[in-house]
Structure 1
Amino acid sequence: MHAAQPERCTALGPSGPGLTFPIVREAEFDSFAEQHNARCYEGTRTELLCQIKNWADDPHGEVIFWLNGMAGAGKSTISRTVAEAFANPKDSRLGASFFFKRGEGNRGNATLFFPTIACQLARKIPALEPYVREAVDTDQAIGKALEVQFDKLILQPLSRIQHAMAVMVVIDALDECDGEMDVRKIIPLLAQATKILSVRLRFFITSRPELPIRLGFRNVQGKYENLALHQIPKPTVERDISAFLEHELGRIRDTYNGYALEELGLPQDWPGRDVIQTLTQMAVPLFIFAATICRFVEDAYSDPCTQLKEVLKYQTKTHDSEIDKLDATYLPVLSQLTVGRLDPQMKRSLTEFRDVVGPIVLLAQPLSMSSLARLLDIPLRAVSNTLNPLHSVLSIPSKADLPIRLFHLSFRDFLVDPTKRAGEFWIDETKYHRILFNRCIQLMRQHLKRDICGLQLPGKLRSDVDQQLIDAALPPDAQYACRYWVYHLKESKSSIQDGDPVHIFLTSHLLHWLESLGLLGHITESIAITEDLLNLLDPADASQLSAFLYDAKRLMLSNWQIIDMAPLQVQLERMLDDARGPYP
């Protein structure tokens, strides 16, 4: 696994070499990253899905359909189902999709949101190609303000299409987009689709009903349809969750009976209607509860009956609030880590859990188990042993070089909640962001050096450098460190000053770091990263570091395009002579 080159839109340019630009391929509903995530179980959510289809079919319907609901209510499952339905050849209305996901690089921000949508629309509507090409090539729309991107990449190109057609865009988990102002700005921009006359553009959006999103919708009254999942009648939700539980637990029973001794097999009516009904009441209205406890019961190393009994112990804690339901979702899984252990063993287990899972839930982008072990400087076997009991809350591939992902963001929210609902499993965000920052600095010191890939020729184009050569010099953990070390520093609530580890690192490795970002195709990120560092300066004791960073920023602004094309051009170190000593 590597994360070196950003995905690029290659749908454009059939008449020549074509224009390409960066996009977030993994944000699309049918991407590799999304392929195993759930769709609505057959026969569930039927009334809601029918309502969405009726809205999409109505030529006079509102531009936006906003489906909102609390964490774990099943919004993303509905989004994937809607996207799949409209992508079906029998309908073929899906023009684009973007599934935001916090903690997964550019899936967690709006940087490449509109370029990704524009690329998919150009694939869907070939007539858009020259207009998007013009916006990227002539207007330099990529990287501009959101309103400029929307106007140049989407609004103007679609307005120039002559033939009438209906196009659906699915946007999931808008609340997971970092930057409140970006979120508030995106919503009224999408509402401007009413200006497009020939193409009937529709946006299906899901999110939690958080304040920035509610404020965004405040300015588009009359241009969107709104449905809150908690408004769906409780009997309907109960019916759907019950059907899901009956199907999944029946499948678990049949699978278990397929390999268990005949004498130890589960009865054909297991777990029984009463248990299904109890579990349904524990779950309503959170589908994430039903999905998580089914994965927990199915644990390959445990007996389903024993696992189910553990879940049922929490039934008295699910009546007061949805928060208590999330407790009951995750505590049965976590309690298995300490049950039956003596105090010293328990403390060791809790420390191992926090030291491995803490970083996983705080990473800016998922890492594989092997990369995580190197980043944390923990033996791979120790990481694997810690994660083994957590397959019901984390997606843990069987291969060590594939990324570990959270099944649902609510698990992260539960662990880092400052009210410490997670109790002894609570993750101190500030502490573990600081640990990740320190490890990123150490990794970069180990790996970064001048001409890291041995290219020798300063004019060597990045496009001519073999990706395997880059990955050998900069393995995924080092790539991660280069991109996100300042993110973890910022989230650790730290400041920086003269002579501290940041100052020492930059005076030794600034150009090495810029060269590496250039090789990875992420040199443009250096400008925003440097801005973050300037904002973290200790005003009382950072005069030397401040001057150094301002000079570094000027270097990046003046030369990022050259470095992006030929990374070794960063060897023009004379531009930094006034800020620092000779380049090592």
Structure 2
Amino acid sequence: MRLLRVNDNKLTPVEFLGTPTHQYAILSHTWGDDNEEVNFRDLVKNTGKTKAGYKKIQFCGAQAANDGLEFCWVDTCCINKSSDAELSEAINSMFRWYQNAAKCYVYLSDVSTGSSDSNVLSQGEWKLAFQNSRWFRRGWTLQELIAPRSVEFFSVEGNRLGSKSSLIQEIHEITGVPVLALQGSRLSGFSVGERISWAARRQTKREEDAVYSLLGIFDVHMPLIYGEGRQKALNRLRREIKENISINLPVAKGASFDSHMEEHNPKCLRGTRTELLHHIMEWAKDRNSKPIFWLNGMAGTGKSTIARTLAQSFADQGQLGASFFFKKGEAERGNATRFFTTIATYLMGQVPGMKSGMKEAIDADPAIPEKALKDQFEKLILQPLLQAPIQTIELVVVIDALDECERVEDIRAILQLLSRTSDLTPVSLRVFVTSRPELHIHLGFKRMPDGTYKDLILHQVAKQTIEHDIRLFLEHELGEIQQERSLSPNWPSKAQMQALVDLAVPLFIFAATICRYIGDRRDNPRKRLEAILQYQSVTYISKLDKTYLPILTQLFEDEDEVDMQRRTSEFREVVGSIIVLESPLSISSLARLLSIPKEDIRCGLDSLRSVLNIPDCEYIPIRLLHLSFREFLVDPRKKGKSPFWIDEKETHERLVAKCLQLMSSSEGLRQNICNLQRLGTLQSEINKCIIAKSLPPELQYACRYWVHHLEQSKWHIHDGDVIHLFLQKYFLYWLEAMSLIGDAYKCIHMIHSLQTLEYSDRSLSSDFLRDAKRFILRFRPILEDAPLQIYSSALIFAPEISIIRKTFIEHIPGWITQLSKMKDDWDTCRNTLEGHTESVNAVALSPDGQAMVSASDDCTVMLWDSKTGAGLSTLEGHTRSVNAVAFSPDGQVVASASYDRTVRLWDSKTGTNQNVINVDEYIRYLNFSFGGYYLDTNKGRISIYPTSSSFLPQQVCSFGLFVQQDWVCNDKMEKLIWLPPDFRVSTAYFRDRLLILGHVSGFITFLRL
């Protein structure tokens, strides 16, 4: 992008690679005769000052200087239109350039105020000319009106007429553009036809520009073909729109830095963290810098505040690609299930041309959002970015609190995949990551290729720098408290301030928390400050203890023993629940879940506003202000020593009971809870407001997380206990509710979790769960799509012996008066997996039975969840048919052999290729040796680690089952099972009575023998 530097009434062109980091003003105007406009050549040769168009360029520079802006942009002279490539890039980037401008000045050459004195003509007189201005009838000015945040209108004399905000009603009436669109609402919320209609009466000099001027309005990228005519250009635009508007990936709610949930969280106070922020901003600008920056520091050192500040700065400069702020205990923000889909969604809006690659990937595999992280990253981010047109844009992805992602395996996968951003050339992509210095994260970074990342340890920043920043923060916050509460000007004293600084360093969370505590209007700030300073001389407790103990101790001041026991019990029940909830709840929802009056909860939490975010509205969720408060309360070292200690196991047990109680209450689950009129109503057809009313937040929470709390409580399920009784009465109602809230796919995992809690696998309850699992697996497609089909199709076609069918048979609709006899028992077929496109040649189970791997003629290896049948990852690298696969003894590595004469080793958790071994023979079978250091094959033993020879002569080990013509045979070629025509297969694998068949069609079938 080329800008004009404003300096002493001189305008000098300055080239920027990518998005400028400087703020700039941008001019919007109507073109005069081409001969009278100052073009790029005039600018370079300094020959355009005599042209009529120079006046508006002078105006733009002067106005920018008045507004304190060093740079401005004018289309006539900042684009070299003799370069087709530059013109195409400019037109495709124009909307974003206007969007990123600090100010947009609209110069109306046909609107006069009559004099340099704007008061000479009344507003009524110039408004008529304003309404009739040809600026409102030109094609390109539509995006120039909509895109910028700040639009100001000026007369031909340079007098300000008003802004888009102040004139919004008049502009709406003139243009027909909805007020919401003018106010900055997402344009995707307006239909395609409506957006095209905004330009219907607008004119352009070249007929194709009437279409090209809409590219930014629809956020599409397409090449310019002048001479194709308006209709052909419009047809191409419609095709691009059609390809783009269907992309709708799941996004983690509240994960972006500017989400409503993050809105009131702090950013760095002006004057603090200056050197650090400058250092990181310089890293982001340097195209030769390492692509990943890891800022790590212990709890409370201010990492999230820094990340939030940087994300805002990058966003202000148009450099933010995406952001994801992990938050433990906040549903999809606490895990990686929606991490890459969220990042991809935001990058899609920043990188022109990325959408087409994403669209191709989703069309080829609509289930990508549910696949392994490796597949999501490669198909939704890496490949679309590699396929995008080369662009001079620099983007940064900000990832905060990676340590709060719940699964270590996911953290490891994320780090390995992010290291591949160095492969990108079309776009310069940087990744900024914050986390605590956990060992698994440290090792994850160390495994990255050399030169991939740089790191900075926050708590090792020079003590004097941290002390300076904390002092500045305390002086600012306490100064505001002193003014608001009319305290003495010398409060706090210098000695008190120094004591607070000494207590806080190096924890910013201490400074922030005590300032909230001291500033609470329900008590005297002097008294609270003195309470904090009492801990100054205490050396045997941690910094976090010194942060939170004063706040909690004041809860029980002046309480007798009876009242204190009551208050601590209430504290553990309410606050304990808040800190272990999987997803935050509002006061209203928490009250209904715990069966505690709202007033009691609000009163009990009123004194905890310095550690909890408690909204005034009772329907907005309560949130922890910092994870360290939870860690302080559940610290096992405090058991029996602190009245504030929370027993996690006991709290989870209590929440299980409350969830079950709510779901089975008169206001809980029931058949057809949304009162749908038709059994065939699809979940996607139901109004979301109806679902929300029928299943309020606390009931949705209970449905989603009761099994999680049961797992955490270490409960063992017995015949006739509350879990067994609940399932016998409410199982189908629960399935219906999960289908309605879009989480039916989670039910199979939850049932599997319940099975692991069974006290005995030979009990009525274990039989019920086994049947429930078969029921869900068989009818999962209809459970996900049509909730009420649970009571008709699923029950009707379940086998006669099914426990679920026999338990709930009275729920079959009454109008079905006679049923033909179903099969007596479930089919031996447990599940059929679809994913390979050609014949399956080999399958194997992981040692723990949780995962399965398959090899195919389609040159791929696929990993599967053997319990649910979900595809986990597609491993690509072989160039010919893959013949054999095996798991290592610890399940961490998968080996595959191919006709391309290679053996590949893969990480079974992340799907990344660890090693490629070239061999001279075709390998048909392979297996790991007992220790996992060798691969035994039909051609001998292969060393996994480099040796002088890959093959070591060795007797071939046993390989289980094989398929010989129409039979499944063992390794001695003894015929075991005859395969009917419908079950003719290309490979088989047998273990623990589970037979896995790979079909020529590419399907995989599970049989329990």
Structure-2-length-normalised TM-score: 0.54
User: Does the alignment pair 1:579 with 2:835?
Assistant: no
Pairs within 5 Å for 1:81-120: 81-88=309-316, 91-120=317-346
Partner residue, 1:283: 504
**1:562: how far off?**
2.9
Partner residue, 1:535: 756
- C-alpha distance in structure 2 between counterparts of 1:277 and 1:441, whole Å: 52
User: Does the alignment pair 1:569 with 2:798?
Assistant: no
User: Does the alignment pair 1:307 with 2:525?
Assistant: no
Partner residue, 2:35: none
Identify the range of structure 1 (559-568 vs 169-178) with the bigger mean alpha-carbon deviation: 559-568
The correspondence for 1:439, drawn from 654, 658, 663, is: 658
- C-alpha distance in structure 1 between counterparts of 2:425 and 2:490, whole Å: 57
Partner residue, 2:472: 243
The correspondence for 1:158, drawn from 385, 401, 409, is: 385
1:460-506 superposed Cα distances (whole Å, 9 cap, x missing partner): 12232222322222111111000000111111122223322222212
3-state SS of paired residue (2:488)? coil
- Which amino acid in 1 is paired with 2:416? P
Partner residue, 2:619: 401
Q: Percent identity?
A: 48
**1:359: how far off?**
0.2
Partner residue, 1:209: 437
- C-alpha distance in structure 2 between counterparts of 1:396 and 1:38, whole Å: 16
- Which amino acid in 2 is paired with 1:436? L
The correspondence for 1:352, drawn from 556, 559, 570, is: 570
Query: Is 1:498–1:541's contact at 8 Å kept on the other side of the alignment?
Result: no
- Which amino acid in 2 is paired with 1:149? Q
Q: Unpaired runs of 5+ in structure 2?
A: 1-187, 190-218, 221-239, 812-1009
Higher RCO (CA < 8 A, seq sep 6+): 1
**1:561: how far off?**
3.7
- C-alpha distance in structure 1 between counterparts of 2:427 and 2:390, whole Å: 7
The correspondence for 1:179, drawn from 407, 412, 422, is: 407
- C-alpha distance in structure 2 between counterparts of 1:451 and 1:442, whole Å: 19
- C-alpha distance in structure 2 between counterparts of 1:542 and 1:101, whole Å: 40
1:331-353 superposed Cα distances (whole Å, 9 cap, x missing partner): 11100111111111111111111
- C-alpha distance in structure 2 between counterparts of 1:409 and 1:485, whole Å: 23
Query: Is 2:504–2:510's contact at 8 Å kept on the other side of the alignment?
Result: yes
User: Does the alignment pair 1:457 with 2:678?
Assistant: yes
- C-alpha distance in structure 2 between counterparts of 1:564 and 1:126, whole Å: 34
Query: Is 1:551–1:576's contact at 8 Å kept on the other side of the alignment?
Result: no
- C-alpha distance in structure 1 between counterparts of 2:572 and 2:597, whole Å: 15
The correspondence for 2:358, drawn from 123, 126, 132, is: 132
User: Does the alignment pair 1:230 with 2:459?
Assistant: yes
Query: Is 1:462–1:567's contact at 8 Å kept on the other side of the alignment?
Result: yes
The structure with the largest strand share of the pair is 2
- C-alpha distance in structure 1 between counterparts of 2:514 and 2:799, whole Å: 57
- C-alpha distance in structure 2 between counterparts of 1:255 and 1:217, whole Å: 47
**1:534: how far off?**
2.1
Query: Is 1:496–1:542's contact at 8 Å kept on the other side of the alignment?
Result: no
Query: Is 1:72–1:286's contact at 8 Å kept on the other side of the alignment?
Result: yes
3-state SS of paired residue (2:636)? coil
- Which amino acid in 2 is paired with 1:239? H
User: Does the alignment pair 1:342 with 2:560?
Assistant: yes
The correspondence for 2:369, drawn from 132, 142, 164, is: 142
Pairs within 5 Å for 1:42-53: 42-53=270-281
**1:19: how far off?**
3.3
- Which amino acid in 2 is paired with 1:372? L
Query: Is 2:386–2:424's contact at 8 Å kept on the other side of the alignment?
Result: yes
Partner residue, 2:648: 429
Identify the range of structure 1 (209-218 vs 551-560) with the bigger mean alpha-carbon deviation: 551-560
**1:442: how far off?**
1.0
**1:425: how far off?**
0.5
The correspondence for 2:772, drawn from 538, 547, 552, is: 552
**1:159: how far off?**
0.9
Query: Is 1:25–1:116's contact at 8 Å kept on the other side of the alignment?
Result: no
**Structure 1 residues 14 and 387 mapped into 2: Cα distance closer, same or farther (>3 Å)?**
farther
- C-alpha distance in structure 2 between counterparts of 1:137 and 1:386, whole Å: 52
- C-alpha distance in structure 1 between counterparts of 2:778 and 2:424, whole Å: 38
User: Does the alignment pair 1:60 with 2:288?
Assistant: yes
**1:382: how far off?**
1.1
**Structure 1 residues 338 and 154 mapped into 2: Cα distance closer, same or farther (>3 Å)?**
same
The structure with the largest helix share of the pair is 1
User: Does the alignment pair 1:252 with 2:481?
Assistant: yes
Partner residue, 1:364: 582
**1:385: how far off?**
1.4
- C-alpha distance in structure 2 between counterparts of 1:559 and 1:56, whole Å: 50
The correspondence for 1:36, drawn from 242, 246, 264, is: 264
3-state SS of paired residue (1:132)? helix
- Which amino acid in 2 is paired with 1:570? I
Identify the range of structure 1 (550-559 vs 418-427) with the bigger mean alpha-carbon deviation: 550-559
Query: Is 1:367–1:403's contact at 8 Å kept on the other side of the alignment?
Result: yes
- Which amino acid in 2 is paired with 1:444? M
User: Does the alignment pair 1:507 with 2:708?
Assistant: no
- Which amino acid in 2 is paired with 1:493? K
- C-alpha distance in structure 2 between counterparts of 1:502 and 1:542, whole Å: 16
Query: Is 1:497–1:542's contact at 8 Å kept on the other side of the alignment?
Result: no
- C-alpha distance in structure 2 between counterparts of 1:175 and 1:334, whole Å: 27
**Structure 1 residues 432 and 451 mapped into 2: Cα distance closer, same or farther (>3 Å)?**
same
**Structure 1 residues 439 and 60 mapped into 2: Cα distance closer, same or farther (>3 Å)?**
same
- C-alpha distance in structure 2 between counterparts of 1:50 and 1:503, whole Å: 59
- C-alpha distance in structure 1 between counterparts of 2:490 and 2:335, whole Å: 47
Partner residue, 2:708: 487
Query: Is 1:181–1:212's contact at 8 Å kept on the other side of the alignment?
Result: no
1:328-380 superposed Cα distances (whole Å, 9 cap, x missing partner): 10011100111111111111111111111000001000000011011011111
**1:542: how far off?**
4.9
3-state SS of paired residue (2:429)? strand
Query: Is 2:257–2:308's contact at 8 Å kept on the other side of the alignment?
Result: yes
The count of corresponding residues between Structure 1 and Structure 2 is 562
Query: Is 1:496–1:536's contact at 8 Å kept on the other side of the alignment?
Result: yes
**1:576: how far off?**
6.8
Structure-1-length-normalised TM-score: 0.93
Output the aligned Cα RMSD. 1.8
- C-alpha distance in structure 1 between counterparts of 2:441 and 2:344, whole Å: 22
- Which amino acid in 1 is paired with 2:355? E
Partner residue, 2:738: 517
- Which amino acid in 2 is paired with 1:381? E
Partner residue, 2:596: 378
**Structure 1 residues 71 and 445 mapped into 2: Cα distance closer, same or farther (>3 Å)?**
same
- C-alpha distance in structure 2 between counterparts of 1:433 and 1:166, whole Å: 46
3-state SS of paired residue (2:295)? strand
1:419-446 superposed Cα distances (whole Å, 9 cap, x missing partner): 0177110000000000001110111112
- C-alpha distance in structure 1 between counterparts of 2:748 and 2:398, whole Å: 31
**Structure 1 residues 234 and 329 mapped into 2: Cα distance closer, same or farther (>3 Å)?**
same
**Structure 1 residues 516 and 284 mapped into 2: Cα distance closer, same or farther (>3 Å)?**
same
Partner residue, 1:261: none
3-state SS of paired residue (1:341)? coil
- C-alpha distance in structure 2 between counterparts of 1:50 and 1:247, whole Å: 22
Query: Is 2:352–2:388's contact at 8 Å kept on the other side of the alignment?
Result: no
- Which amino acid in 2 is paired with 1:557? L
Query: Is 2:297–2:457's contact at 8 Å kept on the other side of the alignment?
Result: yes
**Structure 1 residues 93 and 297 mapped into 2: Cα distance closer, same or farther (>3 Å)?**
same
**Structure 1 residues 195 and 409 mapped into 2: Cα distance closer, same or farther (>3 Å)?**
same
Query: Is 1:146–1:186's contact at 8 Å kept on the other side of the alignment?
Result: yes
Q: Unpaired runs of 5+ in structure 1?
A: 1-8, 258-265
